[in-house]
Chains A and B, each alone.
Chain A
Amino acid sequence: MLIELRASDDRLRGPKAVDAAPILTAAYRAAVDGRADLSRLRFVCDYIQYRQNFRDPVELRRVEPWNIEPGSPAADGESFEIAIDLRRARPDAVDAGIKASITDPRECDRLPLEKWGPGSRSLIWGFNTLYWKALSLWEQSTGKGYESALPGGESDARNAEAARELILRLFALWDGLASRRALPEELYVLELGVGNGNQARVFLDELRRLDREHGRGYFRRLHYLMGDYSPHVLELARKNVAHHSEHISSLVLDALRPTQTLGFLRYKAFLVYISNVYDNLPTDEIVRIGGHLFQVETRAVLARSAAESLSASVKVKRADLPDLIARLLRVGPELLCEMLPESFPKPVDAVTFWRSAWEALRLEERYAPLLELDTYQVAPDVGGELLRPIVEANGDVRMHISNGAAASFTDTLPLLHPHGVLLCHDLFVTDVHQYLNGFRGPGKYDGSVVNWVNGRLLQAIGSRRGFDVSFAPFAYRTGANIMTMTARARD
């Protein structure tokens, strides 16, 4: 039996520590009192910092046998992992939860909303997409803006000092290129994930001011492209920079495939600025156990009680909930209201249903063998082989693949001018060992999903494409988890 504690130091000792001993004792007692093969049992104890998340305090995960030869007997036998949330678990509930989960796999306790599959294809991403598409309805319903759900209550994209530093570096670069007659007539800056437009506003205000001092007329040549998945967010941002309208273009685009919309920008962007986008993109997870690799498969479920209350609230049968939720995600609350007026007389009723379903949503997990890494696709142009050095160098570990971030990053790099730079503020895991001492997602930010981004993987992707990728703590706000990733061409 193995017990693993994946919590930061300050959650295990000191004034903010949780009292883990009674929880571990209860888990140990429940295990030895039960009938499970102890040599095939793992306990993984996380401290889940997100108050809203997808887990119950105790969860059982099946580890499927890892056999290289198909059809051979399952020599590995049946293994289990029991996941405990150290923040929410109570010793008596741990004991009961473990006994119940080992003896009864909970099939009848929960209503599955989908089939098992990789995390990046989970239904939770449908909720995430809907949140950004129908953000205004969600905000009307909750009475608060999406930024208030972010840690610290605001995005990190509004610092004049940071903008000034960046602009002066751009001026130096442009001066150098101009002296060699290699400066293009149009100077492009791209922002992906524009928030409320404050970053664009600060950047453009500062650039205009500094350009007057510098006297080279760069502002006149500047095109600032704002790209976002949410038309609502984009519209808010556009209003915020209306006084720079002749320099701004706003584009609704898919962060996973920016070149689909921005093909014309290839090798032209001097600066790509991305803030808090990657942590909100789909991701798989893999786990290495005893040197073997597994993919974490997930399945969205509702607890029986939550499903009953939800179905009663909209006058449908419990068994019809999966279809109803799928329809909601497909058509959105307004159309759903038109299609099913007896369940949703007004759009606000559909939004209430959406929010309740989201709140009740849980993810079950199981581990499926990942036998051939080269056939696993991290992103459209990134094969699984890239993961090998990372997983082989770091022992048994569970980590995110950050597929969405990898796809977006890979597809954004070709937009950079040979001397361009990509700056990204986000939640990054910069050392694989960070996966051993903290929970990195998924969590819920209001109606969206958050996962820390595997920075080590993005570094490897960048490196294979000729970019140096470095990380530094966000320089303009202390005490935050936000890191700044910088990518620029090397050699």
Chain B
Amino acid sequence: MPATKLLATSVVGSYSVPEWLERLKTDFYQRRISGQYLEDIHEVAIKAALKDQETAGVDVVSDGELRRDNDVDYFLARMPGVEIPHAAKTFYYDYYDAYVRHALPVDDDSATLGLVNDLRFTLQYTDRPVKFSFTGPFSLARRVKNEAYSNPDDLVLAFAHILNREARALAEAGAAVLQIDEPFLAGYPEEVGLAVKAINLVYDGIQGPTRAVHVCYGNRYARPVWEGHYEFLFPAILDAQVDQLVLEFARKGYDDLGLFKKYPAGTLTLGLGVIDVKNPAPEPPELIVSRVRQALNVLPPDRLMINPDCGLRHVPADMARAKLRAMSEGAALVRAELLGSTPPEGEQP
């Protein structure tokens, strides 16, 4: 774990997108402002998001994914070999119709998404460890019309090959945590084996950063897309060459923590969701404390990292700040309890 602190806190990835930013993003997709103009806006917004996270006491920060139009198209639009015939959108957050009509250039080392530039920018503006998340091959393949591969699994694995190059570049550039997001996996529980195989391809040869996987029940438009339980992940997910599972609990309850008892998972750590991102009301720090304590009944503190259930993009900015602050304060209280000390100034509720 990059943060040496016990019960270190982090985010899942995305940060609050204010309405004015949504409007400007939409203006770009309707060709009313230039790409350069939008890029400047993004950079300002990212710096502000980093500052918000730092002020809230988050240990491992992210760029808030503020450059991204959504969790899928940002990658598909950059993915070599993916065709997007109509690049204008009515609303920036809409999904494109994307096609793969020919086999992807998996062996072409020059074919990249250029994600490392996003990371380098973030690293310039924070001294804290940085998490970099990206959507995984299984979910990306679900949003593409495949006309190239007779076996759909091959498309997933081709995406994984290309993302492996991205992961290597990101690791080399200094990401503290790499996180593969698989937002659609919960809707296809029978395909966990394929998803794990693809995850292992993405993380092949990656050393240094914590290798994480985030699986939730969907957060598009702040709504769950699927319902169910994490039982479907086990035991297949234990074959994944990852260091951390980042899971949603706060909204659904903590019953699934029992899975970590049922399936002893070696050194695998848990990114414990303690913030419900579908409810804008901030949790009190005491609630965070009780949620962390529940997890401590199952896992030792050195195998826990504390984070929201999912990205904060749909949470209003003031609520997002309050939620992160509560999360940091709650984690600090439990940490102090474990270490027999007093939480530092600024981390006391």
CB-based contact B19/A418 at 8 Å: no
Chain A residues, Cβ within 8 Å of B220: 466, 491
Contact flags A169-185 to B (C-beta < 8 A → 1, else 0): 00000000000111010
CB-based contact B224/A465 at 8 Å: no
Chain A residues, Cβ within 8 Å of B227: 182, 184, 267, 417-418
Given contacts A182-B228, A418-B218, A463-B91, contact A489 B19 (CB under 8 A): no
User: Could you tell me the distance between the alpha carbons of A56 and B221 in the complex, rounded to whole angstroms?
Assistant: 46
User: Could you tell me the distance between the alpha carbons of A383 and B91 in the complex, rounded to whole angstroms?
Assistant: 16
Contact flags B205-248 to A (C-beta < 8 A → 1, else 0): 00000000000001011111111100000000000000000000
CB-based contact B95/A491 at 8 Å: yes
**Does B189 sit at the interface, judged by CB under 8 A?**
yes
Chain B residues, Cβ within 8 Å of A29: none
Among A374, A418, A464, A489, the residue within 8 A (CB) of B91 is A464
User: Could you tell me the distance between the alpha carbons of A239 and B226 in the complex, rounded to whole angstroms?
Assistant: 37
Contact flags A448-484 to B (C-beta < 8 A → 1, else 0): 0000000000000001111100000000000000000
CB-based contact B225/A418 at 8 Å: yes
User: Could you tell me the distance between the alpha carbons of A465 and B278 in the complex, rounded to whole angstroms?
Assistant: 12
**Does B101 sit at the interface, judged by CB under 8 A?**
no
CB-based contact B19/A385 at 8 Å: yes
**Does B20 sit at the interface, judged by CB under 8 A?**
yes
CB-based contact B221/A466 at 8 Å: yes
**Does B102 sit at the interface, judged by CB under 8 A?**
no
Given contacts A374-B19, A383-B19, contact A465 B228 (CB under 8 A): no
Given contacts A374-B19, A418-B218, A464-B91, contact A489 B225 (CB under 8 A): yes
Chain A's nearest CB lies how many Å from the CB of B216? 13
Nearest B residue to A267 by beta-carbon distance?
B224
CB-based contact B223/A414 at 8 Å: yes
Nearest A residue to B95 by beta-carbon distance?
A491
User: Could you tell me the distance between the alpha carbons of A489 and B223 in the complex, rounded to whole angstroms?
Assistant: 9
Chain B residues, Cβ within 8 Å of A467: 221
**Does B51 sit at the interface, judged by CB under 8 A?**
no
Chain A residues, Cβ within 8 Å of B23: 385, 388
- What total of A-B pairs shows CB separation below 8 Å? 40
Chain B residues, Cβ within 8 Å of A180: 189, 228
Chain A residues, Cβ within 8 Å of B225: 418, 489, 491
Chain B residues, Cβ within 8 Å of A388: 23
CB-based contact B224/A374 at 8 Å: no
Tell me whether chain B's interface is mostly helix, strand or loop, or mixed. Answer: loop
Among B95, B189, B222, B223, the residue within 8 A (CB) of A418 is B223
CB-based contact B226/A465 at 8 Å: no
User: Could you tell me the distance between the alpha carbons of A463 and B220 in the complex, rounded to whole angstroms?
Assistant: 12
Nearest B residue to A464 by beta-carbon distance?
B91
> In chain A between 385 and 432, which residues have their CB closer than 8 angstroms to a CB of chain B?
385, 388, 414, 417-418
Nearest A residue to B188 by beta-carbon distance?
A180
Among A182, A184, A464, the residue within 8 A (CB) of B226 is A182
CB-based contact B20/A374 at 8 Å: yes
Chain B residues, Cβ within 8 Å of A464: 91, 221
Nearest B residue to A413 by beta-carbon distance?
B223
> In chain B between 11 and 42, which residues have their CB closer than 8 angstroms to a CB of chain A?
19-20, 23
Chain B residues, Cβ within 8 Å of A184: 227
CB-based contact B228/A418 at 8 Å: no
Chain A residues, Cβ within 8 Å of B223: 267, 414, 418, 465-466, 489
Chain B's nearest CB lies how many Å from the CB of A96? 49
Chain B residues, Cβ within 8 Å of A465: 221-223
Contact flags A28-47 to B (C-beta < 8 A → 1, else 0): 00000000000000000000
User: Could you tell me the distance between the alpha carbons of A180 and B191 in the complex, rounded to whole angstroms?
Assistant: 13
Chain A residues, Cβ within 8 Å of B218: 418
Chain B's nearest CB lies how many Å from the CB of A249? 22
CB-based contact A418/B20 at 8 Å: no
> In chain A between 209 and 245, which residues have their CB closer than 8 angstroms to a CB of chain B?
none
- Of A267, A383, A491, the most chain B CB neighbours within 10 A belong to A491
Chain A residues, Cβ within 8 Å of B189: 180
Contact flags A291-319 to B (C-beta < 8 A → 1, else 0): 00000000000000000000000000000
Chain A's nearest CB lies how many Å from the CB of B89? 11
User: Could you tell me the distance between the alpha carbons of A450 and B333 in the complex, rounded to whole angstroms?
Assistant: 56
Chain B residues, Cβ within 8 Å of A374: 19-20
Chain B residues, Cβ within 8 Å of A466: 220-221, 223
User: Could you tell me the distance between the alpha carbons of A489 and B225 in the complex, rounded to whole angstroms?
Assistant: 9
Chain B's nearest CB lies how many Å from the CB of A422? 13
User: Could you tell me the distance between the alpha carbons of A376 and B321 in the complex, rounded to whole angstroms?
Assistant: 25
Chain B's nearest CB lies how many Å from the CB of A385? 6
Chain B's nearest CB lies how many Å from the CB of A418? 6
Q: What are 11 contact pairs spanning A and B, CB under 8 A?
A: A374-B20, A385-B23, A414-B223, A417-B227, A418-B218, A418-B223, A464-B221, A467-B221, A489-B223, A489-B225, A491-B95
* New A-B pairs, 14, CB < 8 Å, besides A267-B224, A465-B221, A491-B220: A182-B226, A182-B228, A267-B227, A374-B19, A383-B19, A388-B23, A414-B223, A418-B223, A418-B225, A464-B221, A465-B223, A466-B220, A467-B221, A489-B223
